[in-house]
Amino acid sequence: MPTFTLNGTAIELEPQTRESFAWLAGQVYRRLHEGPPLPAILTVFAHEGTTTQGLPTNDARIQAILWTLWQIGIASARVEGDGEKREVKWDKGEHANIDTRPIIEHFTEEGINEGRALAAGLVVVAGRHIKVNGIEMHVKINNFELIKAQAAEMEKRRTDPKNDPAMAAASYLAELLAQGADQNDLRLRAAVELAADLGIRSLFVDAATRQLRIDGFNEQAALAAAYFQGAPVEQFQSAINRAQVLNKMALESAQKSGRAPTGGTDAARTQAGGTDLVGTAGKPGNQGQTTPFKRRRR
């Protein structure tokens, strides 16, 4: 098993259950696009857990944090100083991490237990883009209550339960654009996130005629969404198959109408041209205001 160094102490990593990583996902998912980089958030979690909360390094939550750091390429991390002078620093390692395999290969039972699925899912979610009328839009993570409200609005557009929910998501997105909503409109931002969760990669909306066309689906985004929504491992392939089928339908539609397909599955943008989860080490200040650890009830 690999060894992670936290605040100068070497800690052996042990495989964990999905429950532990699900807890961590709940803590960091909606912080991906705000505040410090992911390594800073995770390091502060581990530091406060082992110091302020006094948790042992083999605690499932501490292990989940350190596994995730390891899988995004970090070999050691530390917190130096106090208060306003506190700095969070980390060092990249030369070990194999999620970048050494295709993203899809991390979503297995073994990948879940070693934190690869969570790390890969965070990379995919942080780097999602949707192309609307040829314009790239970065998919931002929104407030859960906002997402819940907009999901209810989206469901109202799903008049036939046999239709894929992506159609209702695209329809609602088209409605908002027809009303003049822009990227500063929270409803539109939430609708874009919902569309991305359903795997939509590219769509065309003619606001004047209310014509709508989905041009491509992202298999990785659909798979990551299935993971974060708690789907069992045996359903992961179904999420990929669904995206592939919808991609094929979009391609056939484009060919019939003589259009060139504008979307489709693309690789997660991790380093160049996209969100860098690793970021720059050593930013000063009180990094990563976190939710305190809560001890489990026995």
pLDDT of residue 249: 87
For residues 172 and 267, the model is more confident at 172
In the structure, what pLDDT confidence band is assigned to residue 264 with cuts at 50, 70 and 90? low
Q: Name the pTM for this structure.
A: 0.81
Per the CB < 8 A criterion, the answer to whether 33 and 140 are in contact is yes
pLDDT tens track for 162-217: 889 999 999 999 899 889 898 899 999 999 999 999 999 999 888 777 678 888 99
What is the predicted pLDDT for the residue at 263?
A: 53
Residue type, 129: H
Q: Quick one: pLDDT at residue 273? A: 31
Summarised one tens digit per residue, pLDDT across range 46-83 is 999 999 999 999 999 999 999 999 999 999 999 999 88
Q: How confident is the model at residue 119 (pLDDT cuts 50, 70, 90)?
A: very high
Asked if the model's pLDDT at residue 262 lies above 90, the reply is no
Q: Which residue has the higher pLDDT, 209 or 238?
A: 238
Per-domain boundaries in the chain: 3-121+275-284, 129-256
Alpha helices per DSSP H over 58-205: 60-71, 109-113, 116-126, 144-156, 165-178, 186-197
pLDDT for residue 124 is more than 70: yes
Condensed to tens digits (0 to 9), the pLDDT of residues 142-163 reads: 888 999 999 999 999 998 888 8
Per-chain mean pLDDT for the chain: 85
